[in-house]
Amino acid sequence: MRTAPTILHLDMDAFFASAEQASKPSLRGKAVVVGGLGPRGVVATASYEARVFGVRSAMPTAQARRLAPNAAYLVPRFAFYRSISEQVMDLLRVRSPLVEPLSLDEAFVDLEAGGAARDADSARLAGARLRADIRAVTGLTGSVGLAASKMLAKIASEKAKPDGLVLIEPGTERALLGPMSVRTLPGVGPATGDHLRRAGIHTVGELAEAGEDELVRLLGKAHGHALYAMALAHDERPVVAEREAKSVSVEDTYDVDIHDRMRVGMEVRRLADRCVRRLREAGLSGRTIVLKVRRYDFSTLTRSETLRGPTDDPAVVREAAARLLGSVDTTGGVRLLGVGVSGLADYTQEDLFAQAADAETGSLAEEPAADRPAPAERRWPAGHDVRHAEYGHGWIQGSGLGRVTVRFETPDSPPGRVRTFLTDDPDLEPADPLPLVHRIPPGSEGRALPGAGLEVPGAGAEGRVPSEAAVEGG
């Protein structure tokens, strides 16, 4: 393990909810919950104001509504969050070639590998500058942990939340870890935690005192060895740059179980098209098509088919998904469907047979005119952006009974007014999100923000912020 705290862990603060608050002036300082809003929805992120009421990630939305009935409940805008994440990751890559993204809002950085830090003082300065740059570029806050290992850097960032920086000096690790709960360590979930508690082990210090042999007896060889090393603050894992994507997939959970077989087939074809769009956006193709079906009784079935070569042809993916669906009994009802592609590659082998069939019969996504359902009522997800021909940019506060309520405001405006329209109002249309930061903030003169073509701290003469989006890791 290294002797200087030059591994940095960044964790954006309540990322989805904070992005929504920054985008919507009327929600700043108020409880915001982002997630699925249907009867089976779950919370993706809750703002710190909502957490005061006990709302937490992965909690059923129905339970969150009981705890915080007056919070704003919004449908996620993943494309928007991804664009902000790319800005943050660009700032990290300026500082080091070794950046390991864990999710849209979290990453490890090896500051020593990029020459950004070599000791505690320079590491602290690098972390402070990173936090300032993130605020300048995105308008959001992130918490930073600095330590001599990945495990300790992540623990430090948790202690820093929200909007702080914690550095763990080498040599102080065991004293810091000793009184902490065993659940602090990676790999200790509820089941392992309960098992250790029954053995009288509650803290990391007690874990270290138990000894390696006892932990191997309690937890098995691999887990016992690993936990004993972590209890002694030993973690030799390197920061690994850019994990490759293992698969691309999409799925939908339905508020009401789907029983009609034709409707299930149409949903699978729609999901296949969405999956292919994501493949193409990432410049990838794949050879294994995966179908996921969760039935009325919560049993989940997965079926897969491996093609002769990688493809990003929507007709090929639709056909494979339809064949897989044919082997699944859906008569009792379906509550979730998903389509994915794995075995990824960055080239495509065209399936000439599928193309020929598609040319003769037309796209499988096209239904005969007589069977084609009537156009559905326009959907207006809560929290999503719209534009009105007269009133300009706004966002959806809610919709129902043929009406849609819009609050008209932008990230740099005062809280806006609310107006209600018919859902089919021709002057109202979906819009792209507006950027959270439009100009270089005061005090940032002489520094460039990504995309502006100027310099960024730590970049050096040749260090420009890359604009290419990274593919998420699996």
User: Is residue 64 helix, strand or coil?
Assistant: helix
Catalytic residue among 49, 100, 106, 267: 106
* Cβ(53)–Cβ(35) below 8 Å: no
CA-based end-to-end distance of the chain? 27
* Cβ(208)–Cβ(174) below 8 Å: yes
Token pair, residue 429, equals 């249309």
Q: Could you tell me where the DSSP H helices lie in 211-341?
A: 212-219, 221-231, 261-281, 314-325
Q: Which helix (H) or strand (E) holds 189?
A: none
Strand order of the sheet with strand 285-295? Answer: 247-258, 334-345, 285-295, 300-311
Token pair, residue 218, equals 């309690």
Question: For 67, phi and psi rounded to 5 degrees?
Answer: -75, -40
Dist CA 194 CA 132 (whole Å): 41
- Give residue for tokens 């964790």: 11
**Amino acid (1-letter code) at residue 357:** A
Dist CA 293 CA 253 (whole Å): 10
Q: Which helix (H) or strand (E) holds 1?
A: none
Beta strands in 111-163 (DSSP E): 142-147
Beta strands in 300-402 (DSSP E): 300-311, 334-345, 385-388, 392-400
SS3 annotation, 23-51: HCHHHCCCCEEEECCCCCCEEEEECHHHH
Catalytic (active site) residue 244: no
Burial of 353 (0-12, 13-18, 19+ CB in 10 A): exposed
Q: Give the number of residues written for the chain.
A: 474
Q: Which residues are catalytic?
A: 106
